[in-house]
Amino acid sequence: MGNDINIEKSTLFQLIKQGDKEAYRLLYDLYYPKLLQIAKGYITKNEDAEELVQDVFLKLWKKRYTINISSNMDGYLYSMMRNACLDFLRSKKNTLNIGDNMAQLEAALNLKALSNDTASALLVKELEQQIMKAIELLPDKCKAVFLKSKIEGLKNKEISEELQISNKTVEGHITKAIKHLQLHLKEFLYFFQFILLFMQG
């Protein structure tokens, strides 16, 4: 088939339906970066996001003979990616424990954003505002470390090098920030958890 990147997408998928592995690899190269970007918008850990994208491509290959895409391949793949993220976040929601760490709270927040429910979106917005208020109360150094970790997505080692502090100090600041947030958001978080479970079933 060759590596012509400009091949019609409909033709590409027809070749995949016939079991053409080269066409499948080309599709993978075309869409992997786009789908990974979507996944990272909702999933906290890069490793989880990458695994979900791999799962989407694997599912596409397994169902290649029965899937029917007439024209909108972009929409179909993006929908598959969205549903994979939604299923992942639902599984995280089922283990939500306020006494645990912020990753589960992030999963709950992302689930609401992904679900696109107006009422729950308002609740999430309120929770996000409460979180930012609580973050502003942190000591400057602790706040800087926490924001770089949770907002900018930097790894502890990267934060350590950038701020010229030890890895242990970075971990200490993050732990302190999480405990601070849990203390200041305790009542709101329990209310949020109740509403979340009620609305998602």
Sorted by where each begins, the domain ranges of the chain are 9-93, 102-200
Distance CA 22, CA 20 (A): 6
Distance CA 56, CA 168 (A): 37
Answer for the pair 36, 28: CB distance below 8 angstroms, yes or no: no
How much is the pLDDT for 180?
86
Give the burial class of 20: count Cβ atoms within 10 A of its Cβ; 0-12 exposed, 13-18 middle, 19 or more buried.
middle
Relative orientation angle of helices 102-115 and 73-93, to the nearest 10 degrees: 140
Quote the distance between the C-alpha of residue 67 and its chain's center. 26
Distance CA 52, CA 89 (A): 11
Same fold, 9-93 and 102-200: no
Distance CA 194, CA 70 (A): 43
CATH T-level fold of 102-200: Arc Repressor Mutant, subunit A (1.10.10)
Distance CA 197, CA 97 (A): 12
Say which residue the tokens 């970007």 belong to: 37
Contacts for 181 with CB less than 8 Å, ≥ 6 apart: 102, 131, 134, 135
How much is the pLDDT for 69?
65
Answer for the pair 112, 124: CB distance below 8 angstroms, yes or no: yes
Low-confidence ranges of the chain (pLDDT < 50): 1-6, 94, 96-99, 117-119, 191, 194-201
How much is the pLDDT for 159?
94
Answer for the pair 34, 15: CB distance below 8 angstroms, yes or no: no
Phi-psi map region of 69: left, alpha, beta (phi>0 left; psi -120 to 50 alpha): beta
How much is the pLDDT for 44?
72
Q: Indicate the CATH number for domain 9-93.
A: 1.10.1740.10
